[in-house]
Amino acid sequence: MNNETKNQHLRKITDAIKKKEGISFRYLRPDGQVTRHNAVYPREIFSKGKYTYFKAYCHFTRDVRSFRLDRVQSLQLVQLTRNKRYSGLKERLIAIIVVLVIPVSYMIWTFTGGNPKGQWVLVTHVIDGDTIKVGRGWRCEKVRLIGVDTPETVHPERPTGFFGPEASEFTKKQLEGKKVHLEFEPSTQYDDYGRLLAYVFLLDGTLFNAELIKQGYARVITPSPFHYYKEFRLYEQEARVKGLGLWAGKDICKEIIGNRRSKIYRLPGDAGCGRIKEKNRIYFDTEEEAIKAGYRRAKR
């Protein structure tokens, strides 16, 4: 390359840097091959030893490279907009933003009390047969299974109920550490204790609330105007007839039964009903009804 051509190339490169425009040229590589560069954007000119170089951003390879000036041939200014220079970068940034914003927005929606119709969550801990903890967005939340009541195992003021440990173990085996799908009643999302009320569906579509009742691990909470109430009552009757779980044994209560003499009531699944004489028995539809009538829960 003669000095005149070199100076022409330098002027064009300098002009491209000032105007933030591109250049195109052919480049003689050290191995003797000539390559074509159609969208190169110069950034700076520098010297190293006896040679002059320029550093430029290559649109197609999407990187910054250095070129030796005396190897450049047929250099031309290219009238391209600056947007094309960064189009690839913009595309990648947009893709990254989309990937990040969608899940983050969903977590924020959930964290701030969003109530989607259904939601997949991970069960992080089983508290007892009818209460679990799940990872929901950025927080861990207690979930109370709708429509079912398993015998007590962790209540601070009540004794462990008959078949309670078995119910807790069953729930732990089926749910802990697994993904489940939560669905909610449209009218009520939380109970008086701040627990999220939900139907829990397994990966295969099984409604776990119903399974607890079918296998005798839980009784139906009554009266409750929830969606599956009739089905749950039918499952409970079938479990009673079969004598499953908490319905096994003659001494196990199958209803809420009070003793007129002692003013003590027992819940379904509690032991001791076999010892209450028929003439002393009184039946209640709900535990609240028994309490209002002046009865107290049996301690054992």
- The residues carrying an active-site annotation are 144, 152, 195
Taking alpha carbons only, the member of 68, 24, 64 closest to residue 46 is 68
In SS3 terms, the chain reads as CCHHHHHHHHHHHHHHHHHCCEEEEEEECCCCCEEEEEEEEEEEEEEECCEEEEEEEECCCCEEEEEEHHHEEEEEEECCCHHHHCHHHHHHHHHHHHHHHHHHHHHHHHHCCCCCCEEEEEEEEEEECCEEEEEECCEEEEEEECCEECCCCCCCCCCCCCCHHHHHHHHHHHHCCCEEEEECCCCCCECCCCCEEEEEECCCCCEHHHHHHHCCCCEECCCCCCCCHHHHHHHHHHHHHHCCHHHCCCCECCCEEEECCCCEEECCCCECHHHCCHHHEEEECCHHHHHHCCCEECCC
| C-alpha span between 136 and 134 (Å, rounded) | 6
Read off the tokens for 125.
């801990």
Structure tokens at 287: 């535990």
